A = this chain, B = another copy of it.
């Protein structure tokens, strides 16, 4: 009998209990033992749940119980989640979490503590909900020279942008629809500002390259300023507007950014619509791989937590799972890093080709051209187009 505890019995926390119950037989077979939820810690009254007899409010009860080997931290926010997790790791318990905030801010400290005490700190559910992307980065892709990660990592913004694309809706009406359907919270700031996607790409980059940067250093542009004209522009380019979080490794360092981008229709990320998430990884010899799935939701996210519980129990390798390595690569400016961009420019087409011979003309109407420039930095493009009427410039995912 393996005893676990759940900290925070909200949507995901109660989902973990459900997934453990739904798949009890399979899980027992995999780990060769049974899992018992011994404690549920929550400030709320749990007396009307099946866990009333296991409800506690004092973390020390769990910290001091040698029976408990794995604890699920589903509290959200950095405190007290961080302090609790550190205390549990120091007491020799593995911690699994869906809390992207604490991982993106203090993951390096939590992982160092876990290693020091020979236990696991696992956080698959913090990125991409049910998509097993961290397991893959840490397992099959671990030996690959990863050069780029692009992700649609926030379901709320992807739903809004999909509605704007499909129905020509305004940002405001798409947001209000997302709220009605429960896809957007009452206060959607973390989603629509890009902050949520930013935390997730920070975690992905840290797992891929060992560099945990500070959120303040990642240029992050949300979708609040997006208009239906932007969405129409993306269509004129042969693509769709999506909020893309990117991390690119070059010879000189790592570039990270979150911004709306035109995803061209031939890119598999184009197919991630509505609340779905997708992560595309350029993985050296392996080529491009993409992982697609439910980026949020009670049971998908809880399933990712449960896969981490199983890993915490079954994995004995001292290599651990998904930890950041010390790394001092410099962070590059997205303005100066070569990438692809879609622009809307009002000018004579001949002049455009004169300035940037390698550009691709995607669409033209009344002397206004939708064009694609690849392998150039935004700064270089603006310098080349100096004096021309550049009406729009968005990153392109080709």
Contacts and interface: CB of A to CB of B under 8 A. Distances in A.
Interface in A136-185: 136, 139-145
Nearest to A142: B30
A73 to B, nearest CB: 19
A26 B293 contact: no
Contacts of A18: 285
A58 interface: no
A27 interface: yes
A294 B280 CA distance: 12
Tell me the interface secondary structure of chain A in the complex: mixed
A316 interface: yes
A276 B267 CA distance: 11
A304 interface: yes
Contacts of A61: none
Interface string A17-50: 0110011001100101000000000000000000
Given A266-B273, A268-B292, A319-B30, A287 B130 contact: yes
Given A132-B141, A145-B26, A317-B314, A293 B304 contact: no
A69 interface: no
A303 B284 contact: yes
Contacts of A104: none
A284 B140 contact: no
A128 to B, nearest CB: 10
A307 interface: yes
Contacts of A307: 139-143
Interface string A108-143: 000000000000000010000011100110011111
Given A268-B271, A273-B266, A292-B292, A143 B286 contact: no
Interface of A: 18-19, 22-23, 26-27, 30, 32, 124, 130-132, 135-136, 139-145, 266-268, 270-273, 276, 278, 283-294, 297, 299-300, 302-304, 306-307, 310-311, 314-317, 319
Given A23-B284, A130-B289, A289-B291, 14 more contacts: A22-B284, A23-B145, A26-B142, A30-B143, A132-B141, A135-B135, A267-B271, A268-B292, A285-B300, A285-B302, A287-B294, A289-B292, A290-B292, A290-B293
